[in-house]
């Protein structure tokens, strides 16, 4: 049995909702959707950890090996709103599967090639899977019984924690026992197994918007997001204040401004600007932009700090390197006692963990807490609304950021702080999609969550960009005295405490800004309804907004072009 919503023209629009299905059927559909969204976070964590191994296969690219990760945010963020809009028009399941199939093709390309250009093309195809998470929100809204939607959105967020738990172990085993190509074969096999399950188990939402994608708006939205992310990802290398670098961010802002102007004037906008500017949407996006910084900075910072050797072991490593280099150059065995090493500035962190040791000691626990808290927070929104869980999440993020700024490094202390951060992630990733679902009509779900994806990616990219700048501005240098001959060298990938401290202070400030925005947010104070509140916007908006909303097989009473969106 399925239910429907009514458009103002009098046509019942079937949403395919599984109201008459058993709990087993409902949660089987949900489990398959959640597992399919895991492909993007899985590959992000796995590939990021393997960059050092992969660099040996591409010896000519040097530091550009980081583009194996950078391209994900660039392509994923810029394509997500368009794929979200396409899911509103052509079907959410179709686009959900398309993301997976393109991801699968990209994995096979990367597993087979040793050509850098082809490798990046494969990574670009994999990046499109990022949109699957945001498309899944629309599938859940359309298909699941209303009472399960808040909980289910929390489970999707918990799924991101699941990836954080298992990815370090999978990548560790594959990297230690095989070459890096094994990761892509694993990801391809994972997607290949799940794709038929999605086809067989997950119904298509018949809800459609009779509309075409505005090409000018599409270019401006995707191009603007792409240029801003390019600047954030490469500003440290290019020089933040160089005119050629600033041209990217200026052009990006102008394109996004042009998108806003164009979409106000076209008959069929990609997203109704009145809806985007409504506080129920715009405030949530602004809160997300400022609030998500620590979600990206925490795993990167903890990975670097814990896998760096402590000062004593690093000093021994430098001495051994000097002795070895001297022998290679002169053939003489230099006594280690003649090599004196002092670090300027010094640093107080470092455990020398392997990747698996990092996962066991620090890496997985934020994910574990997110897995536990996400569903609970999603269920909580059905009782008290999504605003309070968002406030709790941001407050805990601020506490975690404060902890990093004041606590001296030791992995048990940072484990406790990261667990608090994981609890916060669970609240945030359950509350934010519920806030959006409650704020927008069904016809705007795909593009609305796509815009959330853009804002989230820009927010995390900005935080990581600031951290990168702070770390690079605070390198650790080794002062060498070799038998009276003094020299200085920068230790790569080892940074002074001040660089990390400044980074944590920055995300603390941005998180507090996000928390203040949440405290003043009026939206989300009532229990979540699984999208009922958003769907009523269709009726409130008048006949024009509803005429373009149809289900596959329906014959609407009128066929005038839709006026997308409505007032919130």
Query: Which pLDDT tens digit goes with each residue over 328-347?
Result: 777 777 777 777 888 888 88
Query: In this predicted model, what pLDDT tens digit does every residue of 164-197 receive, in sequence order?
Result: 778 777 877 887 778 888 999 999 999 999 999 9
Among 452, 478, 441, which residue's Cα sits nearest to residue 568? 441
Q: Is the model's pLDDT at 10 over the cut of 80?
A: no
For CA atoms 142, 148, 152, 153, give the dihedral sign. Answer: positive
What CA–CA distance (Å, rounded) separates 393 from 400? 10
CATH number for position 122: 1.20.1250.20
Whether residues 321 and 372 share a domain: the answer is: no
Whether residues 101 and 203 share a domain: the answer is: yes
Among 104, 95, 78, which residue's Cα sits nearest to residue 194? 104
Q: Does residue 74 sit within a domain?
A: yes
Q: Is the model's pLDDT at 414 over the cut of 50?
A: yes
Whether residues 282 and 363 share a domain: the answer is: yes
Q: Does residue 258 sit within a domain?
A: no
Q: Is the model's pLDDT at 483 over the cut of 80?
A: no
pLDDT of residue 32: 94
pLDDT of residue 123: 92
Whether residues 42 and 28 share a domain: the answer is: yes
Peptide bond into 158 cis (omega under 30): no
Whether residues 439 and 330 share a domain: the answer is: no
pLDDT of residue 233: 73
pLDDT of residue 494: 84
Whether residues 193 and 332 share a domain: the answer is: no
Whether residues 294 and 409 share a domain: the answer is: yes
Among 363, 362, 366, which residue's Cα sits nearest to residue 374? 366
pLDDT of residue 205: 84
Comparing 6-10, 61-65, 527-531, 557-561, which segment has the lowest mean pLDDT? 557-561
Q: Is the model's pLDDT at 125 over the cut of 90?
A: yes
pLDDT of residue 555: 39
Q: Are strands 485-495 and 475-482 parallel, antiparallel or unpaired?
A: antiparallel
Whether residues 405 and 503 share a domain: the answer is: yes
Most confidently modeled range among 132-146, 442-456, 457-471: 132-146
If pLDDT is split at 50, 70 and 90, which confidence band does 240 have? confident
pLDDT of residue 13: 54
Q: Does residue 417 sit within a domain?
A: yes
Most confidently modeled range among 218-227, 364-373, 393-402: 393-402
pLDDT of residue 190: 94
**Helix, strand, coil percentages for the chain (3-state, nearest 5):** 70, 5, 20
Q: Does residue 260 sit within a domain?
A: no
Most confidently modeled range among 58-72, 162-176, 345-359: 345-359
Per the CB < 8 A criterion, the answer to whether 245 and 235 are in contact is yes
Q: Does residue 223 sit within a domain?
A: no
Q: Does residue 96 sit within a domain?
A: yes
Q: Does residue 219 sit within a domain?
A: no
Who's near 267: CB < 8 A, 6+ residues apart? 561
Q: Is the model's pLDDT at 558 over the cut of 70?
A: no
What CA–CA distance (Å, rounded) separates 272 from 281? 11
* Structure-model confidence comparison of residues 325 and 113, the more confident one: 113
pLDDT of residue 549: 53
Whether residues 293 and 317 share a domain: the answer is: no
pLDDT of residue 14: 58
Q: Is the model's pLDDT at 388 over the cut of 90?
A: yes
Percent of residues, the chain, with pLDDT higher than 90: 28
Comparing 56-60, 116-120, 222-226, 564-568, which segment has the lowest mean pLDDT? 564-568
pLDDT of residue 104: 96
Average pLDDT value over all residues in the chain: 82
Q: Is the model's pLDDT at 477 over the cut of 60?
A: yes
For CA atoms 120, 123, 125, 127, give the dihedral sign. Answer: negative
Whether residues 372 and 317 share a domain: the answer is: no
3-state secondary structure (DSSP) of residue 478: strand
Whether residues 387 and 535 share a domain: the answer is: yes
The total number of structural domains in the chain stands at 2
Whether residues 329 and 410 share a domain: the answer is: no
Q: Does residue 524 sit within a domain?
A: yes
pLDDT of residue 531: 67
Please give the average per-residue pLDDT across 467-474, as a whole number: 83
pTM: 0.81
Instruction: Provide the residue range defining the domain that includes 340.
Output: 313-344
């Amino acid at each position: 049995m399925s239910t429907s919503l009514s458009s103002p023209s009098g046509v019942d629009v079937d949403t395919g909702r599984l109201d008459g299905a058993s709990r087993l059927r409902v949660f089987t559909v949900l489990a398959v959707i959640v597992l399919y969204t895991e492909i993007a976070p899985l590959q992000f964590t796995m590939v990021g950890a393997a960059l050092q191994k992969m660099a040996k296969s591409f010896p000519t690219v040097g530091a550009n090996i980081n583009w194996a990760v950078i391209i994900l945010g660039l392509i994923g963020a810029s394509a997500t709103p368009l794929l979200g809009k396409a899911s509103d028009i052509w079907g959410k399941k179709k686009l959900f599967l398309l993301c997976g199939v393109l991801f699968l093709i990209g994995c096979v390309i990367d597993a087979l090639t040793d050509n850098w250009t082809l490798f990046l093309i494969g990574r670009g195809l994999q990046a499109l899977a990022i949109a699957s998470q945001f498309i899944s929100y629309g599938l859940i809204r359309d298909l699941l019984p209303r009472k399960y939607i808040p909980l289910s959105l929390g489970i999707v967020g918990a799924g991101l924690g699941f990836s954080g738990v298992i990815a370090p172990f999978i990548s560790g085993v594959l990297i230690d026992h095989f070459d890096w190509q094994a990761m892509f074969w694993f990801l391809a096999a994972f997607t290949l197994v799940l794709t038929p399950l999605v086809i067989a188990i997950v119904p298509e939402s018949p809800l459609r918007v009779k509309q075409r994608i505005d090409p000018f708006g599409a270019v401006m939205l995707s191009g603007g997001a792409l240029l801003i992310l390019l600047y954030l990802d490469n500003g440290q290398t290019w020089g933040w204040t160089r005119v050629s670098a600033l041209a990217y961010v200026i052009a990006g802002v102008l394109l996004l401004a042009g998108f806003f102007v164009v979409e106000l004037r076209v008959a069929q906008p990609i997203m109704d600007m009145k809806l985007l500017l409504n506080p129920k949407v715009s405030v949530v996006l602004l809160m997300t932009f400022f609030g998500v910084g620590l979600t990206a900075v925490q795993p990167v910072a903890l990975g670097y700090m814990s896998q760096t050797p402590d000062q004593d072991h690093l000093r021994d490593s430098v001495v051994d390197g000097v002795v070895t280099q001297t022998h290679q150059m002169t053939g003489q065995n230099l006594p280690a006692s003649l090599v004196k090493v002092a670090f300027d500035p010094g640093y107080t962190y470092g455990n020398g963990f392997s990747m698996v040791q990092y996962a066991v000691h620090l890496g997985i626990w934020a994910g574990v807490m997110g897995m536990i808290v996400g569903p609970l927070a999603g269920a909580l929104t059905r009782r008290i609304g999504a605003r309070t869980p968002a406030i709790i999440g941001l407050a805990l993020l601020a506490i975690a950021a404060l902890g990093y700024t004041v606590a001296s490094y030791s992995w048990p202390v940072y484990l406790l702080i990261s667990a608090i951060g994981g609890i916060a992630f669970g609240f945030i990733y359950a509350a934010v999609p519920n806030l959006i679902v409650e704020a927008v009509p069904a016809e705007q779900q795909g593009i609305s969550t796509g815009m959330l994806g853009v804002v989230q990616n820009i927010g995390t990219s900005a935080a990581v960009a600031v951290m990168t700048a702070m770390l690079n501005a605070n390198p650790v240098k080794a002062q060498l005295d070799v038998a009276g001959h003094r020299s200085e060298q920068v230790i790569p990938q080892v940074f002074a405490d001040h660089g990390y401290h400044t980074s944590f202070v920055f995300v603390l400030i941005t998180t507090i800004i996000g928390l203040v925005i949440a405290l003043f947010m009026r939206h989300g104070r009532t229990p979540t309804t699984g999208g009922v509140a958003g769907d009523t916007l269709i009726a409130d908006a008048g006949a024009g907004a509803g005429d373009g909303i149809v289900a596959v097989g329906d014959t609407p009473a009128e066929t005038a072009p839709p006026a997308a969106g409505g007032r919130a």
